[in-house]
Amino acid sequence: MYDVRKIISADSNRFMDRFRMFIRSRHYSYTTEKTYCYWVLFYIRFHHYKHPETMSNDEIEAFLQHLSVSRQVAGNTRKTALNALIFMYREFMKIEIKGLKFRYAVKPRQLPTVFTHQEAQAVIDNFPDKHKICIQLMYGCGLRISETTRLRIKDIDFGMNCIIVRETKGDKSRRTLLPKILFEPLKLQVKTSLLVHKRDLANGFGSVYLPGALSRKYPSAEFEPAWQYLFPAGELSVDPRTNITRRHHISEQCVQRKVKQVLRALNMMKKAGCHTFRHSFATRLLEAGTDLRNIQELLGHSDISTTQIYLHVVGLHERGIISPVDNS
């Protein structure tokens, strides 16, 4: 279970354990926790395991210089590393860092890669049947790969023709489209998941991970069909928090690897991956005249400016612009 937080003893005096618990007390995502801990550990190891209390501006600047010159990491990566260190000092250790000689890198605006409808369909048509519906959900509903793999049976609302997306980036929930073409494949996938669950119950297992304190609030919910993952993993695994053997969802990496393999097989030269389907979903809606606000809600963007990037992706021919040489 690569995306489930490991349990930490409340009595631990280890610096990194206390740092992790502090991050969790702020209700940050597990991705943020892993990122911040990675850079703080990197920083400590770079300075030969000196305690952060004994280090300050000089050591931070030396570390950032190392990332820039020796490792040649991107400006935005250095910014992430600095954010982790500043969070550790200011928020966790209550040590104010002032006068740091470092300029935040301005990330240049990059247009997202998108598929044409024909390209997206070609990838879907050549994708292994086992996980093809994952790609269809990303392209047809605008889901992230993490949101797709974490879908539970109860999140598919056939009556209301929508999908409820939970456990998302920023821990926000939203509704998105449920394409009619996916009704039957999704119903079949629900049956498949329930069959796996029934077999697990017969073998003395059948529980599933529940977020937050839901497992304490609803003790029997982890065995209920509605809470089972829509895309269950092929094997049982041990929950690192409780040491309970249960079935998790398929891994994001599994789907990502398959997408890369199909792209290579199709000799597609675009720098693309799973997230390209989400970009393509937004672009298709914009080309069809969908209001930008509606697209923002479907994608779950907090800021409309994030959604506006797709205005620059829509083809120039959509705006009626024609090259002078085509008029000759």
Q: How many residues would you count in the chain? A: 328
Per the residue annotation, which of 246, 247, 284, 301 is the catalytic one?
301
Give the integer Cα–Cα distance in Å for 102 and 65.
9
Compute the chain's Rg from CA coordinates: 23
Give the integer Cα–Cα distance in Å for 118 and 66.
45
Catalytic status, residue 117: no
Give the integer Cα–Cα distance in Å for 4 and 123.
31
Per the residue annotation, which of 24, 117, 169, 293 is the catalytic one?
169
| β-bridge partners, 131 | none
Closest CA to 280 of 65, 122, 85: 122
Q: Which amino acid is at 102?
A: F
Catalytic status, residue 27: no
Where b means 16+ CB within 10 Å and e means fewer, 69-92 reads eeeeeeeeebbbbbebbebbbeeb
Give the integer Cα–Cα distance in Å for 276 and 114.
6
Backbone torsions φ then ψ of 240, nearest 5 degrees = -65, -15
Catalytic status, residue 278: yes
Give the integer Cα–Cα distance in Å for 206 and 282.
37
Secondary element (H or E) of residue 216:
helix 214-217
Catalytic status, residue 275: yes
Structure tokens at 127: 């994708």
Per the residue annotation, which of 89, 139, 229, 310 is the catalytic one?
310
Per the residue annotation, which of 20, 78, 144, 258 is the catalytic one?
144
Per the residue annotation, which of 247, 278, 279, 284 is the catalytic one?
278
Secondary element (H or E) of residue 238:
strand 237-238
Catalytic status, residue 310: yes
C-alpha distance from residue 25 to each of 209, 216, 246, 272 (Å): 20, 18, 26, 36
The residues assigned a catalytic role are: 144, 169, 275, 278, 301, 310
